[in-house]
Amino acid sequence: RVGMIAGGTGLTPMLQIVRAAIREKGGTCKFRLIYANKAEDDILCRDLLDDLEWQSTGRFKVYYTLDFPPQGWKHRTGFVTREMIRESRRVGLSKQLHGCLLSR
């Protein structure tokens, strides 16, 4: 079980890790990514992230957060907080976290 926190272009190494893991047949490692950006237009590879989440059958979940969300934004807002990290761990991960990766 791996928790990941990325901001902006820091997504790139996280994306490589998740893509490789999801392609692995029979893999069981679960990933949770909190991905922070200033605005919705700053989200890199959003379609790819959403596709990976769907393809992963529960092994990968992405949580978006924006500093300046548009009207009607349905995800998290503001800086990454302890509560966001706790929430991402509650959804689909046991209390045991085997790794945490940070990138910005």
**12 among the known binding-site residues?**
yes
* Helix (H), strand (E), coil (C) string for the chain: CEEEEEEHHHHHHHHHHHHHHHHCCCCCCCEEEEEEECCHHHCCCHHHHHHHHHHCCCCEEEEEEECCCCCCCCCEECCCCHHHHHHHHHCCCCCCCCEEEEEC
Residues of each annotated binding site: 12
Residues of each annotated binding site for FAD: 12
